[in-house]
């Protein structure tokens, strides 16, 4: 497939799990892809090697989403080294379940800093490089739509904020021909939430399809939103959760 031929994408948090699957899929569809990582250069370089093997250009950038300057520098470096920037996927995030009343100020700040502020900084910086028909995709969570258990308040709040960010930006950027959407995965089989973990059966039963999703399925949805076929989709949040929030 070559529907993204000539395009350049940046996937934050792209060294493993959903982010890595998105990076691989965008490359398979023809894009050159940069990805950021924090603590696993070997995994990031392995994803880049897979991208290079498709004949596309890959680039791994060390950038901690907790540091605004690092986020902005990663965006600028992508555009400088790969020549442009057409697709931004804000995937980097943290998940720390804990009782609400026990949450520390540091934990509250980390949810804001990594799950929301980093996306804002990345988008602001990316807009200096983006032209008409560029795409922004924020990776949210089905927990923004349905909070299924205690201890998820701060995480769900941060992902709900991404929905508001998406809708507002769709209005701000629509006149420039740039689309902004949010993808909200449910239980997805990754190393952070494996389908064979002790708590997996409860998550599986909470879905309508009684199954975990795969990172590749999420990547396919992101690839569609990044494609020319999705030019009329903006300002929306799309659940890919097996009916978890139904």
- Going by CATH, does the domain composed of 8-187+214-238 fall within 3.40.50.720? yes
| R_g of the chain computed on alpha carbons | 17
Catalytic residue among 111, 155, 212, 244: 155
| pLDDT number for residue 192 | 87
- The predicted pLDDT at position 199 comes to 86
What is the C-alpha to C-alpha distance for residues 182 and 108, in angstroms, rounded to an integer? Answer: 22
pLDDT in tens for each of the 246 residues of the chain? 689 999 999 999 999 999 999 999 999 999 999 999 999 999 999 999 999 999 999 999 999 999 999 999 999 999 999 999 999 999 999 998 989 999 999 999 999 999 999 999 999 999 999 999 999 999 999 999 999 899 999 999 999 999 999 999 999 999 999 999 999 999 999 988 999 998 899 999 999 999 999 999 999 999 999 999 999 999 999 999 999 999
Residue 212: active-site member: no
How far CA 147 is from CA of 154, 206, 241, in Å, comes to 11, 12, 13
Q: How far apart are CA 78 and CA 171, in angstroms?
A: 26
What is the model's pLDDT at position 1? 63
Place of tokens 């629509």: 174
Tokens of 167: 């809708």
Q: What pLDDT is stored for residue 217 in this prediction?
A: 98
pTM above 0.95, yes or no: yes
Give the CA dihedral 118, 233, 131, 10, nearest 10 degrees. Answer: 40
- Check: CB of residue 207 under 8 Å from CB of residue 12: no
């Amino acid at each position: 497939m070559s529907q993204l031929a000539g395009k350049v994408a940046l996937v934050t948090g792209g060294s493993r799990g959903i982010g890595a699957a998105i990076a691989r899929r965008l490359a398979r569809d023809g894009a050159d892809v940069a990805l950021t990582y924090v603590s696993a250069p070997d995994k990031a370089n392995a994803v880049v090697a897979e991208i290079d093997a498709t004949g596309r250009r890959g680039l791994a950038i060390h950038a901690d989403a907790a540091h605004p300057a690092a986020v902005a520098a990663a965006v600028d470096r992508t555009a400088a080294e790969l020549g442009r920037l057409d697709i931004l996927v804000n995937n980097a995030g943290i998940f720390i379940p804990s009782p609400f009343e026990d949450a520390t100020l540091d934990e509250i700040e980390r949810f804001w800093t990594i799950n929301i502020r980093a996306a804002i900084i990345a988008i602001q910086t990316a807009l200096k490089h983006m032209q008409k028909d560029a795409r922004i995709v924020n990776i949210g969570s089905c927990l923004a739509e349905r909070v299924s258990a205690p201890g998820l308040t701060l995480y769900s709040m941060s992902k709900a904020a991404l929905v508001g960010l998406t809708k507002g930006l769709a209005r701000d950027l629509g006149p420039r021909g740039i689309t902004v959407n949010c993808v909200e995965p449910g239980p997805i089989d990754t190393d952070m939430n494996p389908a064979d973990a002790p708590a997996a059966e409860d998550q599986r039963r909470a879905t309508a399809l009684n199954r975990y999703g795969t990172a590749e399925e999420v990547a396919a949805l992101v690839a569609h939103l990044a494609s020319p076929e999705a030019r009329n989709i903006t300002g929306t949040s799309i659940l890919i959760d097996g009916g978890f929030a139904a």
